[in-house]
A and B are shown apart, each in its own frame.
Chain A
């Protein structure tokens, strides 16, 4: 998914698992994922930095109404596209500092950006969660059961993967109608095959582990082995991919909303704010600059965390599979 500057697409496996891909599913010898301990985590500046930024972003999302100088929905057409007033704006009109300027309907840009954090995080978490759930079930079942079920499920995933992500998302939203919910569904669908791939690979790897074979030999039923013994071991690479995927999901939402296919007014979306910016790039670059900067910061946080996790947990396989 090129539109979304996500590291994960390039790192996670996007190649079709054709019947002939010899190396697919072969467990990587000796790559037992490490365990996450606080001590190891603290040694990774990326992980620490990313977590700090993300904590800040979450705080902003929660505290947006109290941090915002003005009501993000209140229009004041006299102040359309007002230039940023800086902190000097604080002395101005009561409640409207216009520190970062105003948007096309004279709404306070800073307040809108702060409130926009909520939608972005929500989309990232819900879309990735959905993808993880659906992709996880598909991938785990395919990997564990194998046989024709594996073939069918993975061929379906190949079909989804064969289409560029943004294009697929646009087509899905067009089919369902433009709305935030449908944008989330579309993003999740695009992410499902990526998740399914990763989890299938990990389940295949874990299945070969000795204690799993032992469990099977003991006659423990399949689903129980899958859920009690295999999945708990497969979660590490998945977590890395899911974290990186949050960033991708957030950028995709921005892209869809930019095209008018995502959030609808009065919902506050950074992507929609950017689409206004293109019309006034010369005179009012602030309308473009700041919402984009907000997207960048959130995506950066997720990328830092994902990257840090990969280092700390030593999930080499995720990178190598690219």
Chain B
């Protein structure tokens, strides 16, 4: 028996060495516990690309401009900005009296450092393509930055608005991605990956100290588990991926507040026009008529979404509500297919990845398209294999995918529908559309001409149906009623950027 005890003691020692880590102490600090849909990849905004990382980064590191909940640009570290007449430069006036968490004042050098780091091909900045229009960055004084461009890009300001500013004297630290420093209302405390991350109020925040002392982020990737944890009182709030089926119940229950708002993305079915018979617009239009958008939104998404008509989300001024509609109409679809001479019983492949909404859409489509005599073979792939297929090969007929963060018409159309677009998976080539998208970049976004240009492009694309737009995403979130001053944000990555203004009612 003694030997067993010795063995147990040894095992205990090994376990002890392996399992140490910080612990959270209970006290009377005000604290919000937030559910995350995924763990952060990195807390360095220059290398992270995922929403889950940015949700947390924005509480600690601020960008020059931010989007508010109506998707309007608001000053943050910049107080004013201006686009030159010729569209070849952008000037930002920076806020004065801003401190980084490590005690140094924020200056224009930090802005230049951040964007030059991103533009340096030696660095592994993953968002680099968003900024390659920048030729040089000038800092005439501590609080002015001028971006000189190599070609007009009216929408560059939207991209600049997304990038948090990294302090020049800390940006080269090896551990910046897990021990970040910024100017934000909260400063970093600890990160236990796949478990929890803690940030606390920054005493010297330029906008005044946060009402909330501490934020605790918990990564609970399973949607059901996250909601259960919320209802059990283990979480105070979260945005994104509230289990659809539960929404009606949550909405009725006084103990919870459910909120939704139009998002910035959509779900689509795309047709490879180089594959016969999908090259024939009549066939694509027929298939577009076989997507039961209302049924999918109502019954599969439980109403979390609005039926899609184009690639621009409603609610922004770029959305053209007059484009052609494709109501669910199997009879019309059969007519169109007959007109195009498509024989009964042809087989087409449908590829998508293992995202549940996409898989369910695939199953619904399989059933509805079969009614028109077209058989779909569903191939669900892992995300990696799926990306390989759509980006590196042309080996697919129909795909189901989605776009997010379509905050301006250039971002929503150029890469996807321009004949040379890098994400034109449909191989869609329309000269007029390409011309319009090129022109849009050089126009003043506020002008009527810009609006007309993008309206026309939308109209042509929708009519030719290289893509069937299924639904626009709604952003959804839940909170307990005592949490006040936080709203669901249409651009979910920015949802916690103003959490220092929230308060907990007693």
Interface residues of A (CB under 8 A from B): 75, 77-78, 80-81, 104-106, 174, 177-178, 260-261, 264-266, 276, 278-284
B245 A81 Cβ-Cβ under 8 A: yes
Is B451's beta carbon under 8 Å from chain A? no
Is B231's beta carbon under 8 Å from chain A? yes
Closest to A74 in B: B367
Closest to B368 in A: A75
What chain A residues lie within 8 Å of B225 (beta carbons)? 278, 281
B380 A260 Cβ-Cβ under 8 A: yes
B354 A279 Cβ-Cβ under 8 A: no
Closest to B384 in A: A174
Query: Closest Cβ of chain A: how far from B312's Cβ, in Å?
Result: 28
Q: Tell me, in angstroms, the Cα distance from A282 to B247 when the chains sit together.
A: 13
What chain B residues lie within 8 Å of A106 (beta carbons)? 299
A75 B245 Cβ-Cβ under 8 A: no
A80 B382 Cβ-Cβ under 8 A: no
What chain A residues lie within 8 Å of B246 (beta carbons)? 280, 282-283
Closest to A276 in B: B356
A278 B224 Cβ-Cβ under 8 A: yes
Is B249's beta carbon under 8 Å from chain A? yes
Q: Tell me, in angstroms, the Cα distance from A141 to B243 when the chains sit together.
A: 54
Query: Closest Cβ of chain B: how far from A130's Cβ, in Å?
Result: 23
A177 B385 Cβ-Cβ under 8 A: yes
Secondary structure at chain A's binding surface: helix, strand, loop or mixed?
loop
Q: Tell me, in angstroms, the Cα distance from A281 to B231 when the chains sit together.
A: 12
Query: Closest Cβ of chain B: how far from A219's Cβ, in Å?
Result: 53
Q: Tell me, in angstroms, the Cα distance from A31 to B295 when the chains sit together.
A: 66
Q: Which of B228, B363, B382 contacts A265 (CB 8 A)?
A: B363
User: What are 22 A-B residue pairs whose CB atoms fall within 8 Å in the complex?
Assistant: A77-B295, A77-B298, A78-B299, A80-B245, A80-B299, A105-B360, A105-B364, A177-B382, A177-B385, A178-B354, A178-B380, A265-B362, A265-B363, A265-B366, A265-B380, A266-B366, A278-B225, A279-B224, A280-B245, A280-B246, A281-B224, A282-B224
Query: Closest Cβ of chain A: how far from B280's Cβ, in Å?
Result: 28
Q: Which of B224, B231, B380 contacts A280 (CB 8 A)?
A: B224
A104 B360 Cβ-Cβ under 8 A: yes
Q: Which of A105, A178, A261, A279 contacts B243 (CB 8 A)?
A: A279
What chain B residues lie within 8 Å of A80 (beta carbons)? 245, 299-300
What chain A residues lie within 8 Å of B367 (beta carbons)? 75
Q: Tell me, in angstroms, the Cα distance from A265 to B350 when the chains sit together.
A: 12
Encode B186-227 as 1/0 by CB contact (under 8 A) with A. 000000000000000000000000000000000000111101
Encode B154-173 as 1/0 by CB contact (under 8 A) with A. 00000000000000000000
B231 A75 Cβ-Cβ under 8 A: no
Q: Tell me, in angstroms, the Cα distance from A265 to B380 when the chains sit together.
A: 8
Encode B271-287 as 1/0 by CB contact (under 8 A) with A. 00000000000000000
- For chains A and B in complex, what number of residue pairs have CB atoms within 8 angstroms? 72
Q: Which of A174, A265, A280 contacts B359 (CB 8 A)?
A: A265
Query: Closest Cβ of chain B: how far from A56's Cβ, in Å?
Result: 30
Closest to B363 in A: A265
Q: Tell me, in angstroms, the Cα distance from A172 to B491 when the chains sit together.
A: 37
What chain A residues lie within 8 Å of B231 (beta carbons)? 282
Query: Closest Cβ of chain A: how far from B18's Cβ, in Å?
Result: 17
- A77-B300, A80-B299, A105-B364 known; A178+B381 contact, CB < 8 A: yes
- A278-B224, A280-B224, A282-B231 known; A264+B380 contact, CB < 8 A: yes
Encode B326-366 as 1/0 by CB contact (under 8 A) with A. 00000000000000000000000000001010011011101
Identify the 5 closest CB pairs spanning chains A and B, nearest first: A77-B299, A260-B354, A279-B224, A278-B224, A264-B380
Query: Closest Cβ of chain A: how far from B313's Cβ, in Å?
Result: 25
Q: Tell me, in angstroms, the Cα distance from A260 to B381 when the chains sit together.
A: 9
Q: Tell me, in angstroms, the Cα distance from A301 to B360 when the chains sit together.
A: 33
- A105-B364, A266-B363 known; A280+B243 contact, CB < 8 A: yes
Q: Tell me, in angstroms, the Cα distance from A83 to B231 when the chains sit together.
A: 21
- The size bracket of the interface on B is 20 to 34
Closest to B354 in A: A260
A284 B245 Cβ-Cβ under 8 A: yes
Closest to A277 in B: B224
Is B379's beta carbon under 8 Å from chain A? yes
Query: Closest Cβ of chain B: how far from A235's Cβ, in Å?
Result: 38
What chain A residues lie within 8 Å of B223 (beta carbons)? 279
Is B378's beta carbon under 8 Å from chain A? yes
What chain A residues lie within 8 Å of B227 (beta carbons)? 282
Closest to A263 in B: B380
Q: Besides the contacts A75-B363, A104-B245, A265-B380, what 9 more A-B pairs have beta carbons closer than 8 Å? A: A78-B299, A80-B300, A106-B299, A264-B378, A265-B378, A278-B224, A281-B224, A282-B228, A282-B246
Closest to A104 in B: B360
Q: Tell me, in angstroms, the Cα distance from A70 to B213 when the chains sit together.
A: 57
B379 A264 Cβ-Cβ under 8 A: yes
What chain A residues lie within 8 Å of B356 (beta carbons)? 276, 279
What chain A residues lie within 8 Å of B366 (beta carbons)? 265-266
Q: Tell me, in angstroms, the Cα distance from A106 to B302 when the chains sit together.
A: 13
Closest to A272 in B: B359
Closest to B243 in A: A279
Q: Tell me, in angstroms, the Cα distance from A78 to B300 when the chains sit together.
A: 10
Q: Tell me, in angstroms, the Cα distance from A283 to B246 when the chains sit together.
A: 8
Q: Tell me, in angstroms, the Cα distance from A283 to B245 when the chains sit together.
A: 9
Closest to B299 in A: A77
Q: Tell me, in angstroms, the Cα distance from A282 to B379 when the chains sit together.
A: 31
What chain A residues lie within 8 Å of B299 (beta carbons)? 77-78, 80, 106
B381 A177 Cβ-Cβ under 8 A: yes
What chain A residues lie within 8 Å of B363 (beta carbons)? 75, 105, 265-266
Q: Tell me, in angstroms, the Cα distance from A43 to B378 when the chains sit together.
A: 50
Q: Tell me, in angstroms, the Cα distance from A279 to B356 when the chains sit together.
A: 11
Q: Tell me, in angstroms, the Cα distance from A281 to B295 when the chains sit together.
A: 24
Query: Closest Cβ of chain B: how far from A261's Cβ, in Å?
Result: 7
Closest to A259 in B: B354
What chain A residues lie within 8 Å of B380 (beta carbons)? 178, 260, 264-265
Closest to B385 in A: A177
- A264-B379, A279-B243, A280-B245 known; A75+B364 contact, CB < 8 A: yes
Query: Closest Cβ of chain A: how far from B82's Cβ, in Å?
Result: 48
What chain B residues lie within 8 Å of A265 (beta carbons)? 359, 362-363, 366, 378, 380
Q: Which of A78, A174, A261, A279 contacts B222 (CB 8 A)?
A: A279
Q: Tell me, in angstroms, the Cα distance from A283 to B244 when the chains sit together.
A: 12
What chain A residues lie within 8 Å of B228 (beta carbons)? 281-282
What chain A residues lie within 8 Å of B295 (beta carbons)? 77
Q: Within B287-308, which residues are at the interface with A (CB < 8 Å)?
A: 295, 298-300
What chain B residues lie within 8 Å of A266 (beta carbons)? 363, 366, 378
B382 A278 Cβ-Cβ under 8 A: no
What chain B residues lie within 8 Å of A261 (beta carbons)? 382
Closest to A282 in B: B228
Query: Closest Cβ of chain A: how far from B67's Cβ, in Å?
Result: 30
Query: Closest Cβ of chain A: how far from B243's Cβ, in Å?
Result: 5
Closest to B222 in A: A278
Q: Within B82-118, which residues are at the interface with A (CB < 8 Å)?
A: none
Q: Tell me, in angstroms, the Cα distance from A174 to B356 when the chains sit together.
A: 18
Query: Closest Cβ of chain B: how far from A277's Cβ, in Å?
Result: 8
